Amino acid sequence: MTYKVTEEALAHGNVCTIFLDGEIDMDVVEKAKEVIFPHIDAGKEVHLNLSQVQYMDSSGISVLIESHQKALEKNTKVIIKDVSKSVLKVIMMAKLEQILNLE
């Protein structure tokens, strides 16, 4: 997994977009948390761009859920954007499209 982070200040607050690339599985889940969680802890709205993620297992899905829950606690949100077809399939199978903010 590789990633790129961009930030911008908008009228309603700071938005951080994290572009994830590759596979998100058990081997990289801690790295994903290290990239995502500090931005949520800082109270930023986090956009996760998953267009370049070819594969995500249950541990990757758990990162999405944990990120969502952490954002709710911090009174901000995580928006999952441009989800690749393979990852969207996993999200839909787990019926998480009703919980997660997908765009």
Summarised one tens digit per residue, pLDDT across range 25-47 is: 999 999 999 999 999 999 999 99
Q: Which residues contact 1 (CB under 8 A, 6 or more apart)?
A: 20, 21, 22, 23, 24, 28, 31, 32
CATH code for the domain defined by 2-102: 3.30.750.24
DSSP annotation of 65 reads H
DSSP E strand boundaries for the chain: 2-10, 13-24, 45-56, 78-81, 101-102
Q: Is the pLDDT of residue 13 over 80?
A: no
Q: What confidence tier does 14 reach under pLDDT thresholds 50, 70, 90? A: confident
Q: What are the domain boundaries of the chain?
A: 2-102
26 three-state secondary structure? coil
pTM, 2 dp: 0.92
